[in-house]
Amino acid sequence: MRKPYRFETRTIHAGQPADPSTGAVMTPIYQTSTYRQKRVGEHLGYEYSRTGNPTRHALEECLSSLEEGHAGLAFASGMAAIDAILHLLRPGDHVLAVDDLYGGTYRIFEQTYAPMGVSFSYAPASEPAAFLKHLRPETRLIWLETPTNPLLNLCDIRGIAEGARKMNSSAWICVDNTFATPYLQQPLNLGADIVLHSTTKYLGGHSDVVGGAIVVRDAALAERLAFLQNAVGAVPGPMDCFLVLRGIKTLPVRMERHASNAEAVARFLETHEAIEQVFYPGLPSHPQHDLARRQMRNGGGMVSFTAKGGTHAARRIAEGTHLFALAESLGGVESLIEVPAAMTHASTLDSPLAVSPALIRLSVGLENTQDLVEDLRQALDALA
């Protein structure tokens, strides 16, 4: 299914025609590892489920349509998808990455690929020209995350893609679009080559599945990554693909509500006397609010902040909410709170990417807005 249909329609229908054998409206969970062949090599397009499975195929088509790419590939986790992208590299290659990253991305860079001879450097990516000064002749991959996890800085995707092209860089530009989702921004349309997702987060949307995905716009790159998906084999099972497909159907309505709740929470936090700083791209106080308005449909559902009481206060707030559950992960319908330095980003401890232990990160869910604000208020008031 391609364009004429708009985004909301494609979340529900792309890649998901009624099942040809039964008419089932929901894509069946094809719980099979293999497929009967009529004659040797003569089959209906499926041979073995590591290589291809109809439920996974529906998800891959849907993701490709939403990111407006050439092809989508589903993986067993976001990290498995990242690993497949890093398998494109060879010893001696260099990766230039934004300097605020998901902790697991930093960990696989430094602890899995650096020992094999790939080098990594990190730089702020808010100013394209300053960021691209770190490009080298051997840079094969530019790694962006926007908004970044956990500081919610933005990368100017179009500015970086145009700048890199002007410098004749042959590096692929990969954008981790997990925080924004294709509903808020479509990196391929802004000049990126590869989009990465942890579908565990907003695409799945219900904290009930772990998954990952890649979408690319170049056919040759798609073929190489599909080879790696099959050769390395970190594929998701059909049940997990079904759950992500079902989650995606409500992505647009969820993202609207995540963002309106997050904005209300961020505005409340800005007015509370116990708060030092609030990070939310949808607030005019965010240093890249103009870029957010250009690049993203809304500010998203993630909010980070620091309290005046520092590390001690951060712990007390994170342990003092009732509705916001103290937990890692994000993007589900329920609200979560965490301390990145001690939880999701523990692997960056003592590194240049270390985050302040006083930082708190919220994944703002779909509960009643006032209930969420009141929960945070009681946790903050308890500090006094």
Ligand X SMILES: *Cc1c(COP(=O)(O)O)cnc(C)c1O
Q: Which residues bind to ligand X, rule: CB under 6 A?
A: 77-79, 102, 104-105, 145, 149, 176, 178-179, 198, 200-201, 210, 212
| 224 counts as catalytic | no
Say if residues 235 and 226 touch (Cβ distance below 8 Å): no
Q: Which is nearer to ligand X, 78 or 191 (CB)?
A: 78
Say if residues 62 and 14 touch (Cβ distance below 8 Å): yes
- Give me the least distance between CB of 216 and ligand X, in Å please: 17
Total length of the chain: 384
Set 83, 93, 156, 176: catalytic member: 176
Set 46, 50, 316, 377: catalytic member: 50
| 176 counts as catalytic | yes
Residue 129, SS3? helix
Strand order in the sheet with 212-216: 71-75, 212-216, 194-198, 172-176, 139-145, 94-98, 119-123
What is the torsional sign of CA 227, 233, 234, 236? positive
Q: Which is nearer to ligand X, 72 or 320 (CB)?
A: 72
Distance between CA atoms of 61 and 2, rounded to whole angstroms?
10
Give residue 6's identity as a one-letter amino acid code. Answer: R
What are the E-state strand segments in the chain?
71-75, 94-98, 119-123, 139-145, 172-176, 194-198, 212-216, 275-279, 302-307, 325-326, 336-338, 359-363
Q: Which is nearer to ligand X, 78 or 128 (CB)?
A: 78
Q: Which is nearer to ligand X, 54 or 212 (CB)?
A: 212
CA 311 to centroid of chain Cα atoms: 27
| 102 counts as catalytic | yes
- Give me the least distance between CB of 119 and ligand X, in Å please: 21
Residue 158, SS3? helix
- Give me the least distance between CB of 194 and ligand X, in Å please: 13
| 48 counts as catalytic | no
- Give me the least distance between CB of 147 and ligand X, in Å please: 9
Chain residue at closest Cβ approach to ligand X: 78
- Give me the least distance between CB of 207 and ligand X, in Å please: 12
Residue 87: which of 236, 237, 203, 230 has the closest Cα? Answer: 230
Set 102, 183, 202, 280: catalytic member: 102
Distance between CA atoms of 112 and 122, rounded to whole angstroms?
17
- Give me the least distance between CB of 179 and ligand X, in Å please: 6
Set 201, 217, 254, 257: catalytic member: 201
Q: Which is nearer to ligand X, 102 or 305 (CB)?
A: 102
How many CA atoms lie within 13 Å of 235's alpha carbon, on the beta-carbon side?
Answer: 27
Where in the sequence numbering do the catalytic residues fall?
50, 102, 176, 201
